[in-house]
């Protein structure tokens, strides 16, 4: 039999949580065969800057998310949906893909729906502990749905095809090394604990302000050092505050060397996006999760709750004086080594370093079944 070949279309976007898993799967597929790829995204999502930079053919459709509050932009949604369906149909008929992979977000809806009507095999990859609206709707059309955890299955009662627990795929280049080998890179003393704080691209301001309020007290009461990613929009506000100039604090607008940041950290404070959690599982260090409250459909809060139930992290919701809870949690982890080590063990139980391989193999299985079905008909 000839080796499998053909075009694979990925559809998904809006946020990095839908784009980066697609890239991880795509990179794995490149290692498994001579496939061609096309990525279909929206006109304004983060995929517009990420995908072309990776050298992947890229097309857009005119679709945007339906807001869950009143806005005049929602009046355009029916028109955008109809146009995006025709655009998706045109792309699929012209490209003739062997498989369509939807990684969530509003962009995947029209593409996956049209693929189902054309009889093209479909795989959906869901990142969150509670599936998004698009995934729940498309589940009736997909041949395979890959989910992060076993308990996600119960939220997909209309699923037509097989549900595979795969985990969330992350970049293969993530490498964690001994703290002592990277402490000098950041200017830290290797014998003192390091707190890594990063809020992601969305909603970092409240985390930054919380740390400003507790920073001096934290440094004076403990021997901790802080690696602090502020985010582009909030860097000046933090950099201009006296607390950021204290000894033991390393401030960055954006951390490019996340491998080195994860490696040097003893405790991590972050948001609870699905891709971030998948990386944290591989890092396996004690964490304090502060879910972004404005995330679509409360996904981050649900993700964080699922992790907390497994004993892998503290979860703190944003409310008045929530910085006090953060401070208390940091102190607790510094004082109770058994608690911190147990969190790391719980993360290791959650981790799925093979997620991209599992999903890629499911895609190849769909391609093989399609190939065999075509051969029988001919």
Confidence band of 1 (pLDDT split at 50, 70, 90): very low
CB 367 within 8 A of CB 99: yes
Cα(222)–Cα(325) distance, integer angstroms = 16
> What residue segments make up the domains of the chain, in order of their start?
6-168+353-377, 179-350
Cα(220)–Cα(170) distance, integer angstroms = 37
Lowest mean pLDDT among 41-50, 57-66, 315-324: 57-66
- Which of 15, 4, 8 has the alpha carbon at shortest distance from 41? 15
CB 340 within 8 A of CB 333: yes
Q: What strands lie across the sheet with 287-289, from one edge to the other?
A: 249-252, 225-229, 194-198, 267-270, 287-289, 313-315
Cα(121)–Cα(17) distance, integer angstroms = 23
Lowest mean pLDDT among 64-78, 272-286, 301-315, 337-351: 64-78
Res 128 pLDDT > 80:
yes
Residue 66 pLDDT: 55
Confidence band of 233 (pLDDT split at 50, 70, 90): confident
Cα(336)–Cα(305) distance, integer angstroms = 22
Confidence band of 71 (pLDDT split at 50, 70, 90): low
CATH class assigned to 179-350: alpha beta
Cα(288)–Cα(270) distance, integer angstroms = 7
Burial 314-327 (b: 16+ CB within 10 A, else e): bbbebeeebbebbb
Res 122 pLDDT > 80:
yes
The whole-model pTM stands at: 0.87
Q: What is the DSSP string of 266-309?
A: SEEEE---HHHHHHHHHH---EEE---TTSGGGHHHHHHHHHHH
CB 202 within 8 A of CB 231: no
Work out the number of other CB atoms within 10 angstroms of the CB of residue 31: 10
Work out the number of other CB atoms within 10 angstroms of the CB of residue 96: 11
Asked if domains 6-168+353-377 and 179-350 share a fold, the reply is yes
CATH code of the domain made up of 6-168+353-377: 3.40.50.2000
The percent of residues in the chain predicted with pLDDT above 90, rounded, is: 76
Res 9 pLDDT > 90:
yes
Q: What residues are paired with 197 via a beta bridge?
A: 228, 269
Residue 90 pLDDT: 98
Residues 6+ positions from 69 with CB-CB distance below 8 Å: none
More confident of the two residues 180 and 172: 180
Residue 279 pLDDT: 94
């Amino acid at each position: 039999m000839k080796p499998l070949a053909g075009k694979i279309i990925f559809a998904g976007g809006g946020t990095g949580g839908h784009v980066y898993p697609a890239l991880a799967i795509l990179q794995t597929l490149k290692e498994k065969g001579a496939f061609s790829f096309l990525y279909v995204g929206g006109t304004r999502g983060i995929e517009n800057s990420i995908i072309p930079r990776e050298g992947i053919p890229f097309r857009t459709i005119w679709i945007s998310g339906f807001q869950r509050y009143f806005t005049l932009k929602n009046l355009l949604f029916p028109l955008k949906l109809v146009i995006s369906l025709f655009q998706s149909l045109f792309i699929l008929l012209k490209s003739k893909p062997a498989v369509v992979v939807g990684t969530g977000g509003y962009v995947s809806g029209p593409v996956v729906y049209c693929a189902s009507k054309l009889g093209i095999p479909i795989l959906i990859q869901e990142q969150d502990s509670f599936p998004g609206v698009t995934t729940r709707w498309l589940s009736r059309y997909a041949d395979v749905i890959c989910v992060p955890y076993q308990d996600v299955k119960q939220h997909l009662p209309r699923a037509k095809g097989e549900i595979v627990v795969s985990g969330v795929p992350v970049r293969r280049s993530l490498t964690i090394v001994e703290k002592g080998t990277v402490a000098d890179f950041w200017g830290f003393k290797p014998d003192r604990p390091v707190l890594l704080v990063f809020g992601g691209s969305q909603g970092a301001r409240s985390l930054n302000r919380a740390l400003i309020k507790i920073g001096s007290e934290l440094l004076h009461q403990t021997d901790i050092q802080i690696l602090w990613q502020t985010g582009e929009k909030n860097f000046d506000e933090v950099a201009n505050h006296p607390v950021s100039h204290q000894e033991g604090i390393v401030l960055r607008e954006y951390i490019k060397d996340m491998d080195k940041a994860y490696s040097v950290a003893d405790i991590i404070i972050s948001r609870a996006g699905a891709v971030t959690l998948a990386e944290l599982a591989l890092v396996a260090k004690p964490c304090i999760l502060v879910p972004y409250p404005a995330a679509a459909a409360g996904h981050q809060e649900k993700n964080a709750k699922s992790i907390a139930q497994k004993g892998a992290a503290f979860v703190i919701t944003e409310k008045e004086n929530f910085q006090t809870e953060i401070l208390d949690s940091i102190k607790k982890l510094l004082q109770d080594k058994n608690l911190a080590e147990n969190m790391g063990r719980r993360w290791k139980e959650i981790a799925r370093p093979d997620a991209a391989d599992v999903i890629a193999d499911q895609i190849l299985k769909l391609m093989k079944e399609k190939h065999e079905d075509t051969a029988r008909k001919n």
